[in-house]
Structure 1
Amino acid sequence: MFIIEQSKTLSTSGVRKNLSVLKQPALSVINDHLIAYPTPSNLNYFWGFGSLAGISLIIQIATGVFLACHYTPEVNLAFSSVEHIMRDVQGGFILRYMHANGASMFFTVTMVHMLRSLYYGSYQAPREAVWCVGVVILLLMVATAFMGYSLPFGQQSLWGISVITSLFSVVPFVGTELVQWLWGGFSVNNATLNRFFSLHYLLPFLIAGASIVHIAALHHKGSNNPLGINASADKINFYPYLVYKDRVGLLLFAIIFSVLVWFAPNLLAHPDNNIPANSLVTPLSIVPEWYFLIVYCILRSIPNKTGGVLAIGLVFVALLALPFIATSPIRSSNFRPYHRKAFYLFVSACFVLSWAGSKPVEQPYIFIGQTATLYFFFYFFVLVPVLGRLEYYLLTRNNN
């Protein structure tokens, strides 16, 4: 009897000790947001892409810090410093390929993450702030990736800087001065590379901070689920079930990432960027990285330069406005047959824009890009608000 009572006392003290440990500030945050966070039990594998985006960000920051130790932001030395990293620094080629292909993986999982939110209506109330912060993160990612693409200072880097920064010349009254301020002079020079290098180093930490705000906003309102209904009555702890479920996606992510780094490191890169920058030789085609092709195709689909820049801005306006123009009381497209078809056409239009953007600026690619661009904006500003009301009307009429 004494032994039983003693064991109960030891067991109780052990539980109290564990609880006291979890009450420590740092550990309590981990417990509240990564272990005991209440999560809908019916989440599918698409919900794991948010975690993969966080892992991708960590990879990019870690590899970027080590690469910065050997990179030289100077127009005559930048290309050579990248080659030095690849050839002379121990493990440098792994760091460089992980960083370059990590950007592609980061954009891939982020795009799938956003498309999942579009399909299941995760941007709707009460999660407007979660979506809007996510769009800000996407904008920061685009800026960071563009500046990173310019740092090797190959042919595509130089002409990419020249073309993209010249778009700011459309700003009324101060356009020319703004471009010269970005360049730090009257052409792309050392000041340009130094500024881009500094911003490329800084912005990932801003993305990390915005990601914390994104997660905090999500955990404040709770996660959406495939049914799009209130799941407060059927929630489980994030650990262990959903952690192990996310590990499946992490395993697939690691396999694809490893194949790219070890067996096809230059698959997604443009070969002209392996040529040192030369301002006297214009490349036959100036094509950005694949994750820029959608906005690049939209830009060149508008025959007017100012109109093209406004169209790019309208892309992010459409994304930010989405929670406020959506009219459907039903979130999940599983129960919205008309929106489901429109969504699949939207995804197809994004693939068409990427494909057309990689082709020469000639017919029929111009017309195809313009058609896909038209549907891109038609989906956001017409189909999203109209189909929401139409489907609700048909639903209430059938019920009556």
Structure 2
Amino acid sequence: MSFSWAKPYEPKTEFTRWIDQRLPLPRLVYGAVGGGYPVPRNLNYFWNFGVLAGIFLTVQIVTGIVLAMWYYATGDGAFNSVEHIMRDVNAGWLIRYAHANGASFFFVVTYIHIFRGLYYGSYKAPRELVWMLGLVIYLLMMATAFMGYVLPWGQMSYWGAQVITGFFSAFPVVGEPIRIWLLGGYAPDQAALTRFFSLHYLLPFVIAGVVVLHIWALHIPGSSNPTGVDVKDEKDTLPFHPFYTAKDGWFAASVVLLYALFVFFMPNALGHPDNYIPANPLATPAHIVPEWYFWPFYAILRSFTVDFILPAKLWGVLAMFGAILLLFFLPWIDRSPVRSGNYRPMFKRFFIILVIDVLVLGYVGGAEISPLNIALGQIASAYYFLHFLVILPFVSAYERTLPLPDSISSSALHGEDEESAPAGVKTGTKSTVAG
């Protein structure tokens, strides 16, 4: 589809013309995120979090490369090298805190990005592959974050590696050999630290490659929007630049300011104090927990306490992995023809319950083990699977949805006609249905 406002890329100088003839990279960028890329005109601020995820991925790669110049991946040197970075390397404390807090912010914006996709039906046709590639990015993020958490070689790093890799031993026959293969031995030591450092350095670049595929897949059907209505003509769109570059830019600056507040004033608020104690295989911490972004899945893992046909530990591991893999099948679980939760009253109510349920799982995953917390985690875990396997198929089959707007333009104008629309958003046609 061509748009009257979409101007073709034209090199301005002799040098840019020479580059364009041999390597048309500027033309590619212009068509992907510049004035040549049409975007629905009604995107709200929840669509900014994809750009924010890209910003924090860049922060992690840049700070990680610098930290790797000073880090020693040895059992005797890992903890001391981190202390050396913090105390003796010029601005080392800043790079280390930026990297540690950047991981948390990367997960925050990614979780909001995922829940936005869940609410607005971004997993529905024709964007199933966009959704699945996003989940692949998320799984790679989890693997990268886990291995990065081990590298400081503090108490929580060591015992976190011991517990997390112990999950694989729950699988009969093959589980223990897989665990030994991952660690390079029978317990976390020099071999595990070396291979975790190698993979932690490599995987962010793999994530960047999958991000390129994610964006490429997105550009084929185009961006979704809060109404879930497809683009009909050029009146429904705006050029990505300058409209959305400006919107993304100021919002990103606001989030980066919040990130800076954590880096400079609360750098350890999202970490665990036990990780400032050198790893000691002979002293088990009183309360072993992973990083906060793993807590909901850790709660699901701990919810199985009774052997039933299979060992409870194996049920917990299967449920933990199943909670993520289940999301890959959402395009077929939710068969409603309406994408956006704005026009699905019953779906919206259950979505709010799901968000609360995940927050409860997060609390339970980080809390100390007690009968009350175990019971709360079991109820929340049961509801998580009930939502996707029972409630969502039922709602999508029997829900009475609200009328959709005639077009994106009519929703963006909130029922106003051309004469009453604010300057800059007139469409040349009259809107009939409010968004």
Instruction: Give the structure-2-normalised TM-score.
Output: 0.85
**Alpha-carbon distance in structure 1 between the residues aligned to 2:177 and 2:110:** 34
Q: Aligned AA for 2:377? A: G
Q: Equivalent residues in 2 for 1:373-392 (5 A)?
A: 373-392=381-400
Q: Say if 1:297 and 1:354, in contact at 8 Å, map to a contact too.
A: yes
**Alpha-carbon distance in structure 2 between the residues aligned to 1:226 and 1:232:** 15
Q: 1:189 to 1:42 in 2, by over 3 A?
A: same
User: Are residue 272 (structure 1) and residue 274 (structure 2) matched?
Assistant: yes
How far did 1:170 drift? 1.9
Aligned counterpart, 2:432: none
Q: Aligned AA for 1:26? A: L
**Alpha-carbon distance in structure 1 between the residues aligned to 2:254 and 2:298:** 30
Q: Equivalent residues in 2 for 1:1-400 (5 A)?
A: 17=12, 25-35=24-34, 36-233=36-233, 234-303=236-305, 304-392=312-400
Q: 1:296 to 1:27 in 2, by over 3 A?
A: same
Gaps of 5+ in 1: 1-13, 396-400
Q: Say if 1:293 and 1:357, in contact at 8 Å, map to a contact too.
A: yes
Identity of aligned residues (%): 49
Q: 1:292 to 1:43 in 2, by over 3 A?
A: same
Q: Aligned AA for 1:37? A: Y
Q: Say if 2:20 and 2:27, in contact at 8 Å, map to a contact too.
A: yes
Q: Say if 1:22 and 1:31, in contact at 8 Å, map to a contact too.
A: no
**Alpha-carbon distance in structure 2 between the residues aligned to 1:317 and 1:82:** 35
Aligned counterpart, 1:11: none
How far did 1:254 drift? 1.0
Match of 1:227, SS state, is coil
Q: 1:255 to 1:175 in 2, by over 3 A?
A: same
Q: Aligned AA for 2:196? A: F
Q: 1:81 to 1:391 in 2, by over 3 A?
A: same
**Alpha-carbon distance in structure 2 between the residues aligned to 1:393 and 1:365:** 37
How far did 1:22 drift? 6.4
How far did 1:392 drift? 4.7
Instruction: Give the structure-1-normalised TM-score.
Output: 0.93
Q: Say if 1:227 and 1:334, in contact at 8 Å, map to a contact too.
A: yes
Q: 1:253 to 1:22 in 2, by over 3 A?
A: farther
Match of 1:316, SS state, is helix
Q: Say if 2:300 and 2:316, in contact at 8 Å, map to a contact too.
A: yes
Q: Aligned AA for 1:206? A: V
Q: Say if 2:11 and 2:20, in contact at 8 Å, map to a contact too.
A: no
Deviations 1:229-261 (A, max 9, x none): 012421111000111111122022111100000
Match of 1:364, SS state, is helix
Deviations 1:133-156 (A, max 9, x none): 001100000000000000000000
Aligned length: 382
How far did 1:16 drift? 7.3
Q: Aligned AA for 2:188? A: V
Runs (4+) off by over 3 Å: 14-24, 392-395
**Alpha-carbon distance in structure 2 between the residues aligned to 1:311 and 1:354:** 16
Q: 1:15 to 1:329 in 2, by over 3 A?
A: closer
Q: Say if 1:123 and 1:130, in contact at 8 Å, map to a contact too.
A: yes
Q: Say if 2:345 and 2:401, in contact at 8 Å, map to a contact too.
A: no
Q: Say if 1:329 and 1:392, in contact at 8 Å, map to a contact too.
A: no
How far did 1:171 drift? 2.4
Q: Aligned AA for 2:33? A: L
**Alpha-carbon distance in structure 1 between the residues aligned to 2:289 and 2:333:** 34
Q: Aligned AA for 1:375? A: Y
Q: Say if 2:47 and 2:113, in contact at 8 Å, map to a contact too.
A: yes
**Alpha-carbon distance in structure 2 between the residues aligned to 1:144 and 1:50:** 19
Deviations 1:145-177 (A, max 9, x none): 000000000000000000010111122312111
Deviations 1:281-317 (A, max 9, x none): 1100001111010100111011210000000111122
Gaps of 5+ in 2: 1-8, 306-311, 404-435
Answer with 360-369 or 16-25: which moved more. Answer: 16-25
Q: 1:311 to 1:16 in 2, by over 3 A?
A: closer
Match of 2:220, SS state, is helix
Answer with 322-331 or 104-113: which moved more. Answer: 322-331
* RMSD (Å), alpha carbons: 1.7
**Alpha-carbon distance in structure 2 between the residues aligned to 1:224 and 1:117:** 9
**Alpha-carbon distance in structure 1 between the residues aligned to 2:203 and 2:244:** 30
Q: Aligned AA for 2:150? A: S
**Alpha-carbon distance in structure 1 between the residues aligned to 2:183 and 2:63:** 27
